[in-house]
Amino acid sequence: MSANWEIVIGLETHVQLSTDSKIFSGSSTAFGAAPNTQASAVDIALPGVLPVANRGAVERAIRFGLGVNGGLADNINRRSEFARKNYFYPDLPKGYQISQLDLPIVNGGEIAIVSPTRGEIKVRLTRAHLEEDAGKSLHEDFHGMSGIDLNRAGTPLLEIVSEPDMRSAEEAVAYARALHAMVRWIGICDGNMQEGSFRCDANVSVRRPGEALGTRREVKNLNSFRFLQQAIEYEARWQIETLEDGGRIQQATVLFDPDSGKTRVMRSKEDAHDYRYFPDPDLLPLVVDEAWLDRVRGELPELPQQKRDRYVSAYALSSADAVALTQSRETAEYFEDMVDVLGDDAAKTVANWMMGELAAALNRDNLDIPRSPVTSRQLAGLLRRIRDNTVSGKLAKDVFDAMWQGDARGEDAADLIIEKRGLKQISDVGAIETIVDQVLAANSKSVEEFRAGKDKAFNALVGQVMKASKGKANPAQVNEILRRKLS
Amino acid sequence: MINSSLKELAIALALKKVSSVELTQLFLDRIAKLNGELNAFITVDAERSLAQARSADARISAGNAGPLTGIPVAHKDIFCAQGWLTTCGSKMLSNFVAPYDAHVIGRFNDAGSVILGKTNMDEFAMGSSNETSFYGPVKNPWNTGRVPGGSSGGSAAAVAARMAPVATATDTGGSIRQPAALTGLTGLKPTYGVVSRYGMIAFASSLDQGGILARSAEDAALMLNVMSGFDARDSTSIDRVTEDYGRELEVPGGVAPNLPLTGVRVGVVKEHFGAGLAPDVARAVQSALDELRRLGATLVDVSTPNARLGVAAYYVIAPAEASSNLSRFDGVRYGHRAKSYSNLAEMYSKSRAEGFGAEVKRRILIGTYVLSHGYYDAYYVKAQKIRRLIANDFAAAFKDCDIVVGPTSPTVAFELGAKASDPVQMYLNDVYTIPANLAGLPGMSIPCGLGEHGLPVGLHMVGNYFAEAKMLAIAHHYQCATDWHLRSPEGMSA
């Protein structure tokens, strides 16, 4: 595959809103109940029933709109409209899905991500609209027939549509992760991907840089970040190969098969449904007034962007650091807790450790920060000992690993480990001089070379001293004493 | 007793001159005697009705009766009533026993009235002659060779033939008012949003409104007091202060007892007296206008120039909504399912092909077409614009008048089968009534004379939003001065 292709990706994400009841009925939304035990007359679409919009679902959409727009409400439609999307399917009880088309509740907003190749970028949001989920068709265990479970029918969803602003699978995953963090940050979704609370469709096309957008294919229903990455990588490669072989891309909806790692066509453009959208006459236009907006805004936590701005101005962190530290609310809380303990001037050290040792360990063990074996207080305890020269930066990494393994518990875990393993830094001048003298006596060749003008020999001597002290000697003092003795 | 007003029945019940059980039995006997010929009821369940009547009698004895406690009421088979077969006039729902009560049914149950039975109707309320019912046509009690109008033909025939003192009905384009005109009744379609649609099987959601077929404005007011009111389960239900719709009936209006309508400005729509209006109907309506003037009203000319586009706009909007509303009848969860099918698509197509009649299919097809990609703007969006223009016409007219009047239907009741093969002629029956639905305004039809073959003629009235009490008062004063509403079909009054 030749290199000069640009991949263009936009994502449509279905986020299940964390209301207790459904979007148009009073039934429970709890996951995992026995089939059809959470389906009311409205959910099963008995003749004569009518929908009533759940204010809690609308309010979560408003939170989202504010959350992706820096708390400003200019992207929230004061008057939006529910529309019917008509199609027949056995798990769609009314024969239409209530959604929003021309007037969604949210227009615009952005999600900041860090691209591995482009640094910090903003992914623009096209829109976010409210809709209801369908039920489930169960195709097994019914003696050749299908079963229908309508517990999920009417579950509130926010469909969030991005602009085609992403240029690699990694960027798409970074966006999906940031969006996932955002909806959890503002408390509108539990983020449980196994239960389908957060699922993505990816619109993928490829083009030569500078050319107009290519024909896109939509990869449906990706319910993990790993599948999202694999599906986009496969799909983009397939499109590039097809074009390089002289083929053309036909607009289509495709499914990703995690077992084969391939995508296959579900329906082509010609088979596309005509959904015959029209405004739902059973529901009045959805009106959001300023008082409601003000109340919701007042209840919002500090948003990622607001935190980033504060981190940059108050702690002099780089923008990239600030983005990384606001990946999730828990990450930010971990950071802020450590800074509270250590002081503002420790912020850069804290950031380095979180994005270095901590991130690497979490990544290695496939954990997220709330499940980190090393708590923010424990890590702060360790950094305090680096700052007061009790332990060297190098040995501190050993202390961190020991804490990770659970060698000691409690907020003073670092102290306990340093003590137990004798990792305390040697800063006593006499003790260091003794070691230096021994090293100089045993390495006369290096001493001669240094005196002959070879600077490298000095570093070798430092290394020997550190080795002899088992890494515990204070490196600055070693330097100073060595220079004095050799001069 | 069968000719008594609701107020007279309530007094008789209160004074124990009759029990609810006796009253219910009286009307059940009327049904048993006449329904074979008229086909006004789809379902009668004497045991169930009499059980309700016994409860009503206990309530009356306990001294906490309301105005309609113990009174039998016939309900259009479009309202879900728990435990009752609720068919909507369709084979599709011929096996559907409703597991819940419509808001309207609940209100009548709370009021202590008796469900007398479920009345026949055009299938899914689509029709103007009651000939599209899966349960066969309803006959007009005035002349059994003629239609009673539709879609609430069963409710109209039941009340006209004294098989029920009063009935509920629904009106999407004239389905209360046109049958009222054709059977000599007082019909009321309230302002959109006054009566909850919860449990009322939807035809065209933005137009459907529950209402009443009664023998007088006074009875209709008592009925509306029970049926109306806010219901949180219907998002289009309007939350307003409860009102007594009969409050203006007994208030002496005008400057003298014989001039009760003094100060009332009656708008006469000149466009309604042009081509298409039968001369006998025109004559009866004209004399009703003269009567209104004699009673003190001032007649003013008004114009609703866009009303002529009403039928065309209606036959885009109503089928569009219907095509979507009727999608739930797919044979999956309830209702008719084909006996044999080899796959899902066939299950759908056979169940729906078998379950729906020709008129319903016609409207689903029209509605599906007008909502289709590429046609939506040309049809649906344009029809909605016309709808707005018609509402604006009325708003302008109501600056000059309190009420707009004209004929309800262009002709008296026509013969069974006369228009069955010509949908457009059938649709034009509702040319005068449709604009009120499109604008969401309240409308009434009251008997105002007899036309050809001695058949009743209706006077149509459209009031401003929430002007029901005023309309009912005008109708009541007219009915106090005339006796058209007391006429009954020959052989049906005893």
What's the pLDDT at A199?
Answer: 96
- Per-residue confidence band for A479, with pLDDT thresholds at 50, 70 and 90: confident
Of residues A50, A94, A148, nearest to B235 (C-beta):
A50
Among A382-391, A417-426, B90-99, the minimum mean pLDDT is found in A417-426
Among A30-39, A85-94, A432-441, B54-63, the minimum mean pLDDT is found in A432-441
pLDDT digits (tens, 9 = 90+) for A42-65: 999 999 999 999 999 999 999 999
Query: What DSSP string describes A87-122?
Result: ---TT-TTSEEEE--SS-SEE--EEEEEETTTEEEE
Cβ neighbours around B242 below 10 Å, total: 8
Chain B interface mutation, best of A22, A24, A43, A50, highest count of B Cβ atoms under 10 Å:
A50
- Please list every residue in chain B whose beta carbon sits closer than 8 Å to the beta carbon of residue A274: 372-373
Closest to A102 (Cα-Cα) out of B322, B365, B381: B381
The neighbouring-strand residues paired with B216 are none
pLDDT at B494 over 60: no
- Per-residue confidence band for B286, with pLDDT thresholds at 50, 70 and 90: very high
What's the pLDDT at A443?
Answer: 87
What's the pLDDT at A53?
Answer: 98
What's the pLDDT at B254?
Answer: 66
What's the pLDDT at B251?
Answer: 72
Q: What is the ipTM of this complex?
A: 0.96
Residues in chain B: 494
Chain A interface mutation, best of B100, B124, B330, B370, highest count of A Cβ atoms under 10 Å:
B330
Do A50 and B344 make contact, defined as CB atoms within 8 angstroms? no
pLDDT at A69 over 70: yes
pLDDT at A3 over 80: no
Of residues A47, A84, A277, nearest to B88 (C-beta):
A47
Q: With respect to residue B49, please indicate whether it lies within any of the assigned structural domains.
A: yes
- Per-residue confidence band for A372, with pLDDT thresholds at 50, 70 and 90: very high
Interval B195-201 mean pLDDT = 98
- Per-residue confidence band for A472, with pLDDT thresholds at 50, 70 and 90: confident
Determine what percent of chain B is predicted with pLDDT higher than 70.
99
A65 vs B: CB within 8 A: no
Which of B 101-130 lie inside 8 A of A, CB atoms?
102
B28 vs A: CB within 8 A: no
Instruction: State which residue of chain B sits closest to A150, comparing Cα positions.
Output: B333
Q: With respect to residue B39, please indicate whether it lies within any of the assigned structural domains.
A: yes
Q: Are A66 and A109 in contact (CB under 8 A)?
A: no
What are the CA-CA distances from residue B205 to residues A17, B228, B307 (Å)?
28, 17, 21
Among A397-401, B53-57, B233-237, the minimum mean pLDDT is found in A397-401
Among A168-182, A239-253, A424-438, the minimum mean pLDDT is found in A424-438
Interval A196-225 mean pLDDT = 95
Q: Are B32 and B130 in contact (CB under 8 A)?
A: no
Do B324 and A276 make contact, defined as CB atoms within 8 angstroms? yes
pLDDT at A1 over 60: no
- Per-residue confidence band for B111, with pLDDT thresholds at 50, 70 and 90: very high
What's the pLDDT at A445?
Answer: 86
Of residues A50, A96, A274, nearest to B324 (C-beta):
A96
Q: With respect to residue B90, please indicate whether it lies within any of the assigned structural domains.
A: yes
E strand intervals along B173-325: 186-189, 209-214, 265-269, 298-302
Average pLDDT in chain B: 96
Domain positions in chain A are 6-292, 302-421, 429-486
Q: Are A255 and A217 in contact (CB under 8 A)?
A: no
The CA distance from A47 to the nearest CA of chain B, in Å, is 5
Which of A 304-363 lie inside 8 A of B, CB atoms?
none
Interval B258-280 mean pLDDT = 92
Cβ neighbours around A232 below 10 Å, total: 28
What's the pLDDT at B253?
Answer: 63
Interval B240-248 mean pLDDT = 94
Residues B478, B185, B20, B33, CA torsion sign: positive
d(CA A121, CA A110): 10
- Please list every residue in chain A whose beta carbon sits closer than 8 Å to the beta carbon of residue B351: none
B82 vs A: CB within 8 A: no
- Per-residue confidence band for A485, with pLDDT thresholds at 50, 70 and 90: confident
pLDDT at B442 over 70: yes
B201 vs A: CB within 8 A: yes
- Please list every residue in chain A whose beta carbon sits closer than 8 Å to the beta carbon of residue B202: 47-48, 282
Amino acid identity at A156: P
Interval B104-116 mean pLDDT = 98
Residue with tokens 């457009």: B424
Print the domain residue range for B145.
Answer: 6-255+463-486
Do A49 and B236 make contact, defined as CB atoms within 8 angstroms? no
Burial string for A154-171 (b: 16+ CB within 10 Å, else e) reads bbbbbbbbbebbbbbbbb
Check residues A270 and A183 and name the one with the higher pLDDT: A183
Chain B interface mutation, best of A58, A276, A280, A287, highest count of B Cβ atoms under 10 Å:
A276
Among A98-107, A392-401, B86-95, B474-483, the minimum mean pLDDT is found in A392-401
B94 vs A: CB within 8 A: no
- Please list every residue in chain A whose beta carbon sits closer than 8 Å to the beta carbon of residue B206: 281
Do A47 and B371 make contact, defined as CB atoms within 8 angstroms? no
Furthest-apart CA atoms within chain B: distance in Å: 76
Interval A86-109 mean pLDDT = 97
A94 vs B: CB within 8 A: yes
pLDDT at B86 over 80: yes
CATH number of A429-486: 1.10.10.410
What's the pLDDT at B323?
Answer: 98
Do A282 and B323 make contact, defined as CB atoms within 8 angstroms? no
Of residues B233, B235, B320, nearest to A278 (C-beta):
B320
pLDDT at B493 over 80: no
pLDDT at B106 over 80: yes
Among A339-348, A359-368, A443-452, the minimum mean pLDDT is found in A443-452
Do B334 and A46 make contact, defined as CB atoms within 8 angstroms? yes
Q: With respect to residue B453, please indicate whether it lies within any of the assigned structural domains.
A: no
- Per-residue confidence band for B121, with pLDDT thresholds at 50, 70 and 90: very high
Burial string for A408-432 (b: 16+ CB within 10 Å, else e) reads beeeebbbbbbeeeebbbbeeeeeb
A55 vs B: CB within 8 A: no
Catalytic residues of B: 76, 151, 175
B330 vs A: CB within 8 A: yes
Interval B204-215 mean pLDDT = 98
Check residues B423 and B71 and name the one with the higher pLDDT: B71
- The number of domains in chain B is 1
- For residue B108, give the CATH number of its domain: 3.90.1300.10
Of residues A48, A94, A282, nearest to B327 (C-beta):
A94
What's the pLDDT at B487?
Answer: 95
What's the pLDDT at A285?
Answer: 96
- Please list every residue in chain B whose beta carbon sits closer than 8 Å to the beta carbon of residue A24: none
pLDDT at A346 over 60: yes
Among A179-193, A345-359, A458-472, B376-390, the minimum mean pLDDT is found in A458-472
Do B80 and A45 make contact, defined as CB atoms within 8 angstroms? no
Closest to A284 (Cα-Cα) out of A72, A58, A86: A58
pLDDT at B141 over 60: yes
Of residues B329, B344, B368, nearest to A276 (C-beta):
B368
pLDDT at B257 over 90: no
In terms of C-beta density within 10 A (0-12 exposed, 13-18 middle, 19 or more buried), how is residue B307 classed?
A: buried
pLDDT digits (tens, 9 = 90+) for A227-281: 999 999 999 999 999 999 999 999 999 999 999 999 999 888 777 789 999 999 9
Do B232 and A45 make contact, defined as CB atoms within 8 angstroms? no
What's the pLDDT at A476?
Answer: 83
Run of H or E residues at B42: strand B41-43
What's the pLDDT at A2?
Answer: 56
Run of H or E residues at A417: helix A413-421
Q: With respect to residue B42, please indicate whether it lies within any of the assigned structural domains.
A: yes
Q: Are A203 and A11 in contact (CB under 8 A)?
A: yes
